[in-house]
């Protein structure tokens, strides 16, 4: 009957990241109702702070009641109808996921691909947008599978000039680097709580521009998903505050506290903290044989993709990750998709972007790699 004690983990993978104790305590507060005036005041506060982080005045900015992937689905489900053209920039697993999600809705998907670890080619995107004249253009700001930071404005401008709505994946960027949806001309964006917001997974912050809301309200066909239909969500997350579904109250308590902590620190300090932690990580990993996958100007500060030492091998990397977890309580992320077995993804996200965490990882790795080298000699 008693719950087994959980091991302490330092979560240095691609998310979840560790959660501030104040956020955990906020989630442990006794519930109030989802239509309780005190809860609605917290929801107001959360929505306003999310607008700040997203860099937008969009009224329809809200924590969707599901994880980040549902945020992606919400953007496409509301803005695309069967037969619509969509151009998607694919620079990794999450661009591919966008294409899958959009095609299931019945959209006609044109992918513009680039090698994992590189940024999308702005010219190729621009030419394709001009040729296809899509209803929606979508790409990933911070590709969680490769650690690439994608420049936004050139593609967004080309899309808007062609009359398309622009969807941006901000899952890994929100709360770690500044975002300016309005300045960049983004119509729909989504994120997740378990990355740089340092909250548990479970909510997807999303933001829809007035143009996006208009598109959703003037569709020829209903949004296929009742749960994600922004026309219905507006009833609860807008001025009326009427019942649609029951909001995940405790998760919203946690997010409210997480957003307060971010506001207290300030985004500029937070960005600098992420940059410094990433720099020290890369400097420490290089002598151990881990080399950055991504060229310097396009590296994400909160998530570093590192090519593994050749000697490690596919079985070796999995075993080493397991030794880090079991021996040191440190989780790092494996490669995903094409990069499985050839890179690690090391996240220093939100609360975790601190030099003490970098040192913990480097010390553990140094010890484990030294032991690996000694072992064959003892045989």
Residues forming contacts to its own copies in the complex (CB under 8 A) are: 1, 3, 6-9, 11, 13, 15-16, 18-19, 22, 24-34, 36, 38, 65-70, 73, 77, 97, 100-101, 103-106, 192, 194, 200-202, 222-227, 243-251, 254, 256-257, 260, 264, 325, 331, 336
Output DSSP code: residue 91.
S
In this complex, which beta carbon is closest to its own copies, that of residue 110 or of residue 250? 250
The Cα 375–Cα 378 span in angstroms is 5
In this complex, which beta carbon is closest to its own copies, that of residue 156 or of residue 305? 305
Shortest distance, position 9 Cβ to its own copies, whole Å:
5
The Cα 107–Cα 99 span in angstroms is 9
Shortest distance, position 11 Cβ to its own copies, whole Å:
6
The Cα 332–Cα 51 span in angstroms is 31
Q: What are phi and psi of 57, to 5 degrees?
A: -100, 10
In this complex, which beta carbon is closest to its own copies, that of residue 260 or of residue 279? 260
In this complex, which beta carbon is closest to its own copies, that of residue 124 or of residue 340? 340
In this complex, which beta carbon is closest to its own copies, that of residue 26 or of residue 152? 26
The Cα 220–Cα 87 span in angstroms is 21
Distances (CA, A) of 145 to 70, 97, 117, 369, 373: 18, 11, 9, 25, 29
Shortest distance, position 162 Cβ to its own copies, whole Å:
26
Give 221: exposed, middle or buried? Use CB within 10 Å, 0-12, 13-18, 19+.
exposed
Q: What is the dihedral of CA 346, 347, 352, 353, to 10 degrees?
A: 90
Q: What are phi and psi of 225, to 5 degrees?
A: -100, 115
Shortest distance, position 205 Cβ to its own copies, whole Å:
14
In this complex, which beta carbon is closest to its own copies, that of residue 36 or of residue 127? 36
Distances (CA, A) of 224 to 203, 206, 244: 21, 18, 16
Q: Could you tell me how far CA 110 lies from the centroid of its own chain?
A: 23
Shortest distance, position 360 Cβ to its own copies, whole Å:
15
In this complex, which beta carbon is closest to its own copies, that of residue 185 or of residue 254? 254
Shortest distance, position 260 Cβ to its own copies, whole Å:
6
The two structure tokens encoding residue 281: 């990580």
Cβ-based neighbours of 261, under 8 Å, separated by 6 or more: 20, 22, 23, 198
In this complex, which beta carbon is closest to its own copies, that of residue 69 or of residue 372? 69
In this complex, which beta carbon is closest to its own copies, that of residue 151 or of residue 238? 238
Shortest distance, position 314 Cβ to its own copies, whole Å:
16
Shortest distance, position 51 Cβ to its own copies, whole Å:
19
Asked if 107 and 82 count as a contact pair (C-beta separation under 8 A), the reply is: yes
Asked if 332 and 12 count as a contact pair (C-beta separation under 8 A), the reply is: yes
Shortest distance, position 151 Cβ to its own copies, whole Å:
26
């Amino acid at each position: 009957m008693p719950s087994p004690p959980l091991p302490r983990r330092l979560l240095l993978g691609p998310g979840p990241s560790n959660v501030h104790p104040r956020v955990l305590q906020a989630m442990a507060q006794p519930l109030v109702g989802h239509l309780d005036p005190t809860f609605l005041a917290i929801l107001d506060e959360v929505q306003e702070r999310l607008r700040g982080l997203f860099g937008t005045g969009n009224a329809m900015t809200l924590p969707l009641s599901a994880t980040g992937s549902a945020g992606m689905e919400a953007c496409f489900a509301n803005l695309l109808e069967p037969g619509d053209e969509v151009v998607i920039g694919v620079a990794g697993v999450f661009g591919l996921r966008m294409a899958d999600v959009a095609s299931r809705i019945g959209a006609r998907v044109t992918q513009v691909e680039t090698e994992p670890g590189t940024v999308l080619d702005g010219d190729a995107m621009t030419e394709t947008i001009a040729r296809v004249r899509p209803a929606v253009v979508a790409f990933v700001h911070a590709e969680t599978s490769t650690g690439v930071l994608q420049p936004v404005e050139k593609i967004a401008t080309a899309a808007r000039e062609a009359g398309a709505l622009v969807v941006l994946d901000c899952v890994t960027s929100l709360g770690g680097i500044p975002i300016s949806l309005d300045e960049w001309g983004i119509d729909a964006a989504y994120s997740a709580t378990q990355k740089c917001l340092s909250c548990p997974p479970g909510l997807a912050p999303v933001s829809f521009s007035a143009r996006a809301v208009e598109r959703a309200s003037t569709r020829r066909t209903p949004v296929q998903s009742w749960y994600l239909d922004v026309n219905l969500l507006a009833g609860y997350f807008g001025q009326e505050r009427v019942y649609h579904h029951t909001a995940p109250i405790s998760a919203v308590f946690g997010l409210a506290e997480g957003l307060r902590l971010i506001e207290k620190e300030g985004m500029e300090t937070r960005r600098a903290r992420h940059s410094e932690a990433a720099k020290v990580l890369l400097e420490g990993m290089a002598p151990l044989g881990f080399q950055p996958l991504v060229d310097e100007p396009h590296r994400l500060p909160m998530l570093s993709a590192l090519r593994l030492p050749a000697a490690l091998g596919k079985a070796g990397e999995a075993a080493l990750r397991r030794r880090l977890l079991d021996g040191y309580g440190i989780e790092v992320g494996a490669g995903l998709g094409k990069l499985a077995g050839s890179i690690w993804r090391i996240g220093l996200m939100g609360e975790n972007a601190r030099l003490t965490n970098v040192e913990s990882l480097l010390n553990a790795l140094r010890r484990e790699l030294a032991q690996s080298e000694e072992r064959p000699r003892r045989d």
